[in-house]
Homo-oligomer: A and B are copies of this chain.
């Protein structure tokens, strides 16, 4: 029998008509626990499934310290096939409990998100957006063999292809984003500091705790106060804590007792905000970093151009890859600037100039030009 949303459910403080499965953590496997919930009963699902990382040996930092990798048993799968079967099972169970106008968020990395996304499409979910979480402080690539893996991907999808009535708080998102549409790339720090749950010995309670700011934007964009939010991989309960704070109901599913206990204590300490103050604020972003290579890519500087310092003591030649060279000696604008002066450091942006009929122009001027162009383009 399907659970019908009652009016009382919308009122957070009315406990009388509230189902027993609401605002609590269900211990067990996500598939069986979701199967025990009434169908068509959940407004939004946020899922942070295992990423199926396939790590080789140990990885050490340049200072020889060992990287604390995610090697937990729950992230181990025998094959892509096994992972696909698991993904299919929990997505089907999730789809059953979702209301017809419900939506689902799934977060992942390049290890798993493509398989999850394809499976979602196969099962009939309809993609609304893929949203990129850009990390302000990602872990570096220690061996210098790849780009720094600086983001994770979230898929936001509706239950059905032609769903029209799903919740998207367009105006709230726009207002929160300096009155321009909220984009599909979000910038947040990773979860650390006081927000990160730790045990008595100071070790992190959960290896992949997500930042509350990320969950807050998810819930503020796609739920209304009083909505029911389900997280089938609850972990230490970030989804529940944010949902409670924002006046939404939560349903958590988790297998590990350690995580459940930590989540319950955490959520109990959360105070729900007064509905009238549930507004998002967004600070001014810092000036975007412009790689010197971008000036070449934008055509503001040509490969082969000669750069010189303000007193024309040294000249260097711009190379196509964004380095500059004096003779065979090539490096960044900063390194070469430091080297010719015999210093440890140098701001290449202000040190190097381009010679033209109008005299010497610091390349920093070109950087500002580029920023202006980007700002105009963004409007």
Contact call B113/A128, Cβ cutoff below 8 A: no
- What distance in Å separates the Cβ of A168 from its nearest Cβ neighbour in chain B? 6
> What residues of chain B lie closer than 8 Å to A341, measured between beta carbons?
64
> Of B120, B129, B137, which contacts A146 at CB under 8 A?
B129
- What distance in Å separates the Cβ of A277 from its nearest Cβ neighbour in chain B? 4
Q: Which of A104-151 contact B (CB under 8 A)?
A: 109-111, 113-118, 120-124, 127-132, 134, 136-138, 140-141, 144-151
- What distance in Å separates the Cβ of A100 from its nearest Cβ neighbour in chain B? 14
> What residues of chain B lie closer than 8 Å to A80, measured between beta carbons?
121-122
Expressed in whole angstroms, the Cα–Cα distance for A22 and B184 within the complex equals 39
Q: A129-B147, A246-B320, A319-B277 are in contact. Are A216 and B183 (CB under 8 A)?
A: no
> What residues of chain B lie closer than 8 Å to A36, measured between beta carbons?
none
Contact call A147/B176, Cβ cutoff below 8 A: no
Contact call B216/A296, Cβ cutoff below 8 A: yes
Q: A136-B378, A277-B319, A303-B277 are in contact. Are A92 and B111 (CB under 8 A)?
A: no
Residue of B nearest to A116 (CB): B114
A50 within 8 A of B: no
> What residues of chain B lie closer than 8 Å to A297, measured between beta carbons?
188, 212-214, 216-217
Q: A64-B343, A123-B72 are in contact. Are A217 and B173 (CB under 8 A)?
A: no
A288 within 8 A of B: yes
A361 within 8 A of B: no
A298 within 8 A of B: yes
| A 342-379 binary contact with B (CB < 8 Å = 1; else 0) | 01111000000000000000000000000001100110
Contact call B149/A184, Cβ cutoff below 8 A: yes
Residue of B nearest to A62 (CB): B347
Residue of B nearest to A321 (CB): B172
Expressed in whole angstroms, the Cα–Cα distance for A331 and B286 within the complex equals 14
- What distance in Å separates the Cβ of A16 from its nearest Cβ neighbour in chain B? 26
> What residues of chain B lie closer than 8 Å to A188, measured between beta carbons?
294, 297
A178 within 8 A of B: yes
Contact call B110/A281, Cβ cutoff below 8 A: no
- What distance in Å separates the Cβ of A193 from its nearest Cβ neighbour in chain B? 10
Expressed in whole angstroms, the Cα–Cα distance for A338 and B134 within the complex equals 32
> What residues of chain B lie closer than 8 Å to A176, measured between beta carbons?
291-293, 321-323, 332
- What distance in Å separates the Cβ of A171 from its nearest Cβ neighbour in chain B? 8
> What residues of chain B lie closer than 8 Å to A345, measured between beta carbons?
60, 64
Q: A110-B127, A335-B179 are in contact. Are A189 and B220 (CB under 8 A)?
A: no
Q: A145-B168, A176-B323 are in contact. Are A111 and B127 (CB under 8 A)?
A: yes
Expressed in whole angstroms, the Cα–Cα distance for A151 and B220 within the complex equals 22
> Of B141, B246, B373, which contacts A181 at CB under 8 A?
B141
Q: Which of A140-178 contact B (CB under 8 A)?
A: 140-141, 144-151, 153, 155-156, 161, 168-178
Closest 3 CB pairs of A and B: A176-B322, A114-B117, A213-B297
